[in-house]
Amino acid sequence: MDNNMQPFSPQPSNRPIDPSLPPAMDQNQPAQSVDNQPQPGQFGQPTAPITSGPALHNTGVPLASPILEPTHFDGMQNPNLNPQNMPGGMSSSKSQMSPEQKMKTYMLLSIIFGAFAFVGIILGIWSLVSNITTSQKLASAEVALNNAGAIIAKVEEDTGVTITSPDNVPAYAPVKGNIYITEWGIKFKIPDDIENVSYILDQKYRPQICFTGNKIGIKYFPAFADIDQNPGGLGCITRVATAEGDKDKDTGISFGQPVYSYGEYNYFYTAPSAHFSQDAAEQGLEDTAIQIIKNMVSNNISHYE
């Protein structure tokens, strides 16, 4: 240690004297050491631990250190609180969008709502068209069912057979040689000058057989010879009990031209009441076929066991 070092002596303070302090606490008086003993920290003496001293009194002297920054933010804006400077992209709840941002937002919402409206209109049109198409299909199906029902009813009426399934639909296949009517016990010999002969046996009201066919040599199959298209036939034979005579007692109408009698029954022939064909040339062919069938049921009918 340097021996030239002098003991530290406190210098008098330049602060004004506080008149509220007692004389012994005059701030301009130098501090005195106790019994001229070296103070801690001087001449190698150990430093005593710092303890809390007497409470300081407000001297009323203003601080010389200026306040560099405000202690509160009333009415002031701190640039660090700018929503754009907040961490994590946070923004203030009181931040307002600029007019450009508002315009972009409105345009985006308008586009979205317009798209939804367009999709709604398309779906509405599609639903309307689907309903119309479905209604048309249902109407067509209903017409087809009605037509099928009418055809079945006509076949049942003409044949006396109740159709409950495709298995018991009467066969209208053309026949050759002889036509055997087992229900009546009679047969008809088919003439050589006719083809595509078909018949329907109707036993609902009065037992009746209606025939169709066409003269050999026609290069096409005429509609009047098609039993499906012309179930009324080109001539019919009706079987009537002998006791009933030759006229219907309720209407007074003749049963037709008598052509054959056997046992308890008489057989009458009736021609069609009108042409089936609409074409004048085809009506001539129809008249020829009617005459051939008339000859068949009048001259070629007989009983068989």
- pLDDT, tens digit, for every residue of 101-118? 888 888 888 888 888 888
User: Which strands, in side-by-side order, build the sheet including 257-262?
Assistant: 194-202, 208-215, 235-241, 265-270, 257-262
Residue with tokens 């119309």: 132
d(CA 150, CA 158): 12
Under-50 pLDDT residues of the chain:
1-3, 24-37, 40-46, 48-52, 54, 73-75, 89-94
DSSP string, 175-239: --SEEEETTTTEEEEPPTTEEEEEEEEE-SSS-EEEEEEEETT-SS--GGG-TTT-TT-SEEEEE
d(CA 116, CA 118): 5
DSSP state of 242: G
Is the entire prediction scored with pTM above 0.95?
no
CB 223 within 8 A of CB 276: yes
CB 231 within 8 A of CB 238: no
Return all residues near 293 (Cβ < 8 A) that are at least 6 apart. 194, 211, 212, 213, 234, 235
pLDDT at 92: 47
pLDDT at 27: 46
Q: b/e string for 120-139 if b means 16 or more Cβ within 10 A?
A: eeeeeeeeeeeeeeeeeeee
pLDDT at 300: 86
CB 189 within 8 A of CB 256: no
pLDDT at 32: 47
d(CA 107, CA 224): 74
Beta bridge mates, 215: 194
Residue with tokens 């009333």: 74
pLDDT at 176: 61
